[in-house]
Structure 1
Amino acid sequence: MHETADKIPLCKGAISRRCFLQTAGMGAAVLALPGASSTAATTSSQTEELATVLDLSQCIGCAACVEACREVNAHKYPEPKKPFPAMFPERVKVEDWSDRRFTDNRLTPYNWLYIQTVSGEYQGKPFELHIPRRCLHCQNPPCANLCPWGSALRQSNGIVRINEDICLGGGKCRDVCPWHIPQRQTGVGLYLKLMPRFAGNGVMYKCDRCYDLLAQGGLPACIEVCPMQIQSIGPRSEMLAKAHALAEDMNGFVYGEQENGGTNTFYVSPVPFDLLDQAAEKGPGRPHLAPVQDSMAKAGNLTWAVFAAPLAGIAAGLLTGARALSREDNADE
């Protein structure tokens, strides 16, 4: 089995410039191995991806999951430095949510989960459904495959997350995401140390499925606190079987199995998703529910991924070293 990018040994304690160069060089060497990837951790081919099932017929819209997500992940939220550097070119927009961090009716850098309430009529009867919206954790995520800096990654357990330590906030992940999930906060992150006027514009944020809690044997906060237990998490094959069983019981529909080539989030609804999409409020930070083709099957994206993966891996190694040096310099001040 090849050692993969997520197993590159990092320097302990204070990090010297020599260690930075060793780390960067090791990242490039690992990416040269057959089968290695900057976007997917393959620590064990025997490990099945984790997936979640959400039974929308049971969600009461209480938003306990939203509050739990905020509480558990508060230490990961950005604390921007102001005033923000003037960006070049000037068309690069500042995105500042620091004074609106309690906004909870859309996705923001401080709100990785929100409840999308949709109402309408189906088969002559009124309906109202509450849909917890967050990252779907795609099986072949364009955000990770196409990030030019290697800061978006997909773990072997199916979690897709952004490494905020090396993200430059360029927004490629949001552009290529079919649902435009990641959200940017200006004035935070490594770009301030590297090229504050030219490199990116902050850091991108999204649901990381409480990967740190899962690593300790816990559950994602949103699942832990749900009073109706509408969510389940487990091996993808089991969750997919459960989603289909729920759909059969309610004569319902599944979203997320085929979308974008397959995700690790399965919504089960008694109302067709095309009808929900028509009735849902959509816009920035408010994703749609329309069918999505596999974006990585597009020739342009596939070509970019093939050629960019080695460069992204090298960039990730260099940025990791730069981040370490930045912390060392801050400690010496």
Structure 2
Amino acid sequence: MARYGMVMDMRACVGCQACMAACSMENQTPYWSEKFRTHVEDSAHGEYPNVRRELLPRLCMHCENTPCLSACPTGATYKTEDGIVRINYDRCIGCYACMIACPYDARYPYDGDDVEKAEALYGSDCSHTMPHVDKCSFCEHRVKSGLEPACAATCPTGARIFGDLDDPNSEVHKLSVSGIARPLRAELGTSPKVFYIPA
């Protein structure tokens, strides 16, 4: 069984936000409320004339040691056999315990207004029909069909590298094992499956 992960190459990210647009279209995220499963934080550091721009692509880390899963009182948050952290919308009661427990701020509420707007936009194709908490799913429906997540498939610079962390021939395995790519905030002990190559 695969153990999926992603590497973010911060040397290659140009902040174009194509990943956000692709994810929003693929997963019907409520972009109208500025809520996204993935986003790119854009910040400036330093003072003129020594200023540098930092782009930090963010999404659910699909942690091995999953604080959101243990915080969920209904079992709506669960982990698949291949390690993807998912949400069962039918079981989610919107208590936000998982949002509070997530140290990466990777979850957001898909509230009643968002559901109304989604139903108006997507009609019978709407996949969000009740309020719930939402997050990245590594586009599991695409992965099961042999495709990459929408964000990785769309990235024009190849800054998002997706694959099986347990496959010694995969690029994500090689980058994570070599130490070239490192987890974000490893000191938290969550063992995330998203790794970063520093700019």
2:175 is the counterpart of 1:242: yes
Given the alignment, which residue of 23, 27, 32 partners 1:69? Answer: 23
Secondary structure of 1:130's match?
strand
Tell me the amino acid that sits aligned with residue 207 of structure 1. C
1:160 to 73, 85, 97: 85
1:254-291 superposed Cα distances (whole Å, 9 cap, x missing partner): 23383433111001113xxxxxxxxxxxxxxxxxxxxx
Q: Does the alignment pair 1:50 with 2:17?
A: no
Residue 60 (str. 1) matches residue 45 (str. 2): no
Deviation of 1:206 after TM superposition, in Å, equals 0.8
> Larger C-alpha radius of gyration, 1 or 2?
1
Q: Which runs of 5+ in 1 are unaligned?
A: 1-46, 78-97, 189-200, 248-252, 271-333
Matches within 5 A, 1:98-177: 101-104=31-34, 108=35, 111-121=36-46, 126-177=51-102
Equivalent residue, structure 2, for 1:217: 146
SS at match of 1:173: helix
Contact 1:246 1:268 (8 Å CA) reproduced:
no
Residues 1:184 and 2:109 are matched in the alignment: yes
Aligned residues: 177
Task: Flag the 1:254–1:135 CA change in 2: closer, same or farther, 3 A.
Answer: same
What CA distance in whole angstroms lies between the structure 1 residues aligned with 2:185 and 2:99?
A: 21
Change (3 A) 1:260 1:202: farther
Which residue of the partner structure matches residue 278 of structure 1? Answer: none
Provide the C-alpha distance between the structure 1 equivalents of 2:176 and 2:185, rounded to a whole number of angstroms.
9
Question: Which secondary structure state, in structure 1, belongs to the residue aligned with residue 19 of structure 2?
Answer: helix
Question: Could you say which residue in structure 2 is the equivalent of 1:256?
Answer: 184
Partner amino acid for 2:12? Q
Aligned residues of 2:43 and 2:53 also touching (Cα < 8 A): yes
Q: Which amino acid aligns with 1:260?
A: G
Q: Is the 8 A contact 2:183 2:192 kept in 1?
A: no
User: TM-score normalized by structure 1?
Assistant: 0.48
| Amino acid in the other structure paired with 1:235 | D
- Residue 232 of structure 1 aligns to a residue whose secondary structure is strand
* Identical-pair percentage: 27
Q: Which residue of 1 aligns with 2:118?
A: none
Change in CA separation of 1:179 and 1:53 when aligned onto 2, cut-off 3 Å: same
Q: 1:56 to 1:179 in 2, by over 3 A?
A: same
Alpha-carbon distance in structure 2 between the residues aligned to 1:103 and 1:149: 26
- Provide the TM-score with structure 2 as the length reference: 0.78
Change (3 A) 1:202 1:73: closer
Aligned letter for 2:135?
K
CA distance in 2, matches of 1:157, 1:61: 29
Contact kept in structure 2, 1:65 and 1:223, CA below 8 Å: yes
Matched residue of 1:132: which SS?
strand
Q: Which runs of 4+ in 1 moved over 6 A?
A: none
- Structure 1 CA distance, aligned partners of 2:57 and 2:2? 24
| Cα distance, 1:64–1:262 mapped onto 2, change above 3 Å | same
Contact 1:65–1:225 (CA<8 Å) still a contact in 2?
yes
User: Within 2, Cα distance between the matches of 1:205 and 1:71?
Assistant: 15
- CA shift at 1:244, angstroms? 5.9
